[in-house]
Amino acid sequence: MTDKEISDRLQVALLAANRAGAFVLEAGKRGGHVLHRKQTNDFVTETDKLAEELIISIIKEHFPADAVFGEETGSSGKLEHGRWIIDPIDGTTNFFRSLPNYTISIAWEMEPFKPLVGVVFNPRQNELFWAGKDTGAFLNGEPIQVSKLEDHSQAIIVCVPPHRRHDLAESYFEKMKRIFLASSDLRSYGSCALELSYLAAGRVDGYYELCLGYYDMAAGICIVREAGGDFTSADPLTPFSDNRCDLVASNGLIQDWLFHMVQA
Ligand code: IPD
Ligand code: CA
Ligand code: CA
């Protein structure tokens, strides 16, 4: 894969994120969302579906042979030219409740779970995060880096309880309590892609969530990696898959500590 092939995809990801962001922002202002429940605490609006269609149409216009994996439309195409991973609105609950923390998240990769391009756009706050392999990470054109914090007692950690898997609540809250008592404070913003972008920008220092879809985090982990951070599966025996990712991410300096905190 050449630098040009990566940077061409990055340009298209930026274009698609900007267009979809403008579309979702307008739909959010109009309100009156048509809401469907996919499973417990998992919602989709008509805007999610239309935004995904828009993103895919832009991608297909430029790279018709590439494969696509979208949260709302699933997988299509052959993998030899790589695949795009799309979450048209990450933070749908925030979107239909008029909370500002939702994003358009678009990634592209040649090998599974090694994203080479990641773009995350929060249209409500006009913050555009992006990274390509070996480009570094950027927020609205300015370089960003993870925090340099080494002392976990001063760290802010994003912890997101398993709101779709209440059967995992007891074990999760036990670990969350451990992290809470050994850190400065916890946060939860309702969009994985946004939270990972905040980690990349040094606004928070760590992240722990179970049962993500790969589309929630693909763009975000690319941006974290390029900003100097680190991430891994929370369970060494369960590697990432398209439909289940248990994620521990951090500025790298507190990665071993955080990983240790979430083991049984
Ligand atoms: C959700 C958000 C949320 C995370 C959930 C995701 P959606 O995505 O990323 O932060 O806690 O696990 O499913 O459904 O709004 O695209
Ligand atoms: Ca999502
Ligand atoms: Ca979504």
Which pLDDT score is estimated for 11?
98
Q: What is the number of the ligand closest to the CA of 189?
A: 1
Q: Which atom of ligand 1 is nearest to the CA of 102?
A: 15
Q: Span 3-144: which CATH code?
A: 3.30.540.10
Which pLDDT score is estimated for 69?
98
CA-proximal residue: ligand 1, atom 12 (nearest): 212
Which pLDDT score is estimated for 38?
84
CA distance 107 to 225: 13
Handedness of CA 6, 58, 75, 219 (dihedral sign): positive
Which pLDDT score is estimated for 39?
84
Residue ranges in the chain whose pLDDT is less than 70: none
Which pLDDT score is estimated for 40?
83
Q: Which residues neighbour ligand 2 (ion) by CB within 5 Å?
A: 87, 90, 216
- ∠ CA 205-120-202, nearest 5°, is 20
Which pLDDT score is estimated for 42?
85
Q: What is the number of the ligand closest to the CA of 49?
A: 3
pLDDT 10s digits, 221-255:
999 999 999 999 999 999 999 999 999 999 999 99
Which pLDDT score is estimated for 264?
81
* Residue boundaries of the structural domains of the chain: 3-144, 152-263
Q: What is the number of the ligand closest to the CA of 102?
A: 1
Q: What is the number of the ligand closest to the CA of 71?
A: 3
Residue 141, Ramachandran bin (φ over 0: left; ψ between -120 and 50: alpha; else beta): left
Q: Which atom of ligand 1 is nearest to the CA of 164?
A: 12
Under CATH, what is the fold of the domain 152-263?
Answer: D-Maltodextrin-Binding Protein; domain 2 (3.40.190)
Contact 208, 258 (CB under 8 A): yes
Element (H, E) at 156: strand 156-160
Which pLDDT score is estimated for 41?
82
Rg (C-alpha) for the chain, rounded Å, is: 17
Q: Which atom of ligand 1 is nearest to the CA of 209?
A: 11
pTM score, whole prediction? 0.97
Pocket test for ligand 1, best of 92, 105, 165, 191 (most atoms within 8 A of CB): 191
Residue 90 CA, ligand 2 centroid: distance in Å: 4
Q: Which atom of ligand 1 is nearest to the CA of 160?
A: 11
Which residues surround ligand 1 with Cβ inside 6 Å? 42, 87, 90-93, 160, 190-192, 209, 212, 216
**Percent of the chain surpassing pLDDT 90:** 94
Strand order in the sheet with 156-160: 185-187, 156-160, 206-212, 245-250, 230-233
Six-digit token pair at 80?
């030899």
Which pLDDT score is estimated for 104?
98
Which pLDDT score is estimated for 25?
98
Q: Which atom of ligand 1 is nearest to the CA of 212?
A: 12
Six-digit token pair at 251?
């500025």
Handedness of CA 100, 86, 223, 207 (dihedral sign): positive
